[in-house]
Amino acid sequence: MENITTNTPQIAAQLFEYVPEVRNHFKDAWIHMTDNYTKFQIATWGSILVHEFVYFAACLPAFLFQFLPFMHRYKLQKDKAETADKQWKCFRLLMFNHFIIQAPLIFGTYTFTEMFGIPYDYDHMPPWWDLCLRVFGCAVIEDAWHYFLHFALHDRRVYKHIHKVHHHFQTPFGMTAEYAHPLETLILGAGFFIGIMMFCNHFILLWAWVTVRLFETIDVHSGYYVPWLNMFHLIPFYAGAEFHDFHHYNFVGNYASTFTWWDKIFGTDHQYKEFRAKQILQKAEEEKKQK
């Protein structure tokens, strides 16, 4: 322990030495992209590539977990396994939504950036802390939109026509994050763009925000709770996989997408709290029996 403690400042210093190098590589890559591709190509084809790459990269860990027996302990609904048929069904609708519903929206990115004079060049890129604050602002706005519209989609008069598609999988896995009726993709997806309209000061925000949002929504749909592998759990009030998995299991409550505060304010998390209390009590009783 003494060696580790003694070497900690040295290790930290070595890590920070790589930061300028990484930043320089990023700068060179960004300038190369803007010098060799048009704004339309970056905004359209680049955004589609970023969306698809990030989406399936974020899905990959939980997909692999099903083949790793030691990860089963972290699965939230242990008695319900993923199957190839379920995953293939999910993938088919996912591709329809991605390329028939979402791709046309992405084609509007270039027009949006031109209309509002959003810069692409590296010299106008905001510092990392500014970018982080803007992404957080986008997340707060999207979360509020998602809570109220998601709650409305659970109204029995409209639920069976739209939102029931997403709830086809009572045991969610990563890919189910965007498994939804086309109308739901448009309705709930609109919340993603509100923050962009309010906070966008550089094109990089679009890619940063879509990356964070995809990793977050796939995390909460992953079906696994692995806190020590998840940096999102460092964020106060982050809902996480346990919170949203209960929504799929119970169908009622826990309507927010990212944070827990709206459900706390309106009391729509009371069934989840009761469920968690029973789980904790059951675990304590099992531990007593083992002793």
Structure letter (DSSP) for residue 259 = B
Q: DSSP of 211-254, one letter per residue?
A: HHHHHHHHHHTSSB--GGG-GGGGSTTB-HHHHHHHHHHHSSS-
Residue in this structure with the two tokens 């997909």, named with its chain if needed = 63
Count of all residues that appear for the chain in the document: 291
State the Cα–Cα distance between residues 204 and 118, nearest whole angstrom: 10
- The pTM (predicted TM-score) of the whole model is 0.88
One pLDDT digit (tens) per residue for the chain, 291 residues? 444 444 555 654 554 555 677 788 899 999 999 999 999 999 999 999 999 999 999 999 999 999 999 899 999 998 888 888 999 999 999 999 999 999 999 999 999 999 999 999 999 999 999 999 999 999 999 999 999 999 999 999 999 999 999 999 889 999 999 999 999 999 999 999 999 999 999 999 999 999 999 999 999 999 999 888 788 988 999 999 999 999 999 999 999 999 999 999 999 999 999 998 988 888 777 777 776
Residue in this structure with the two tokens 């955004």, named with its chain if needed = 47
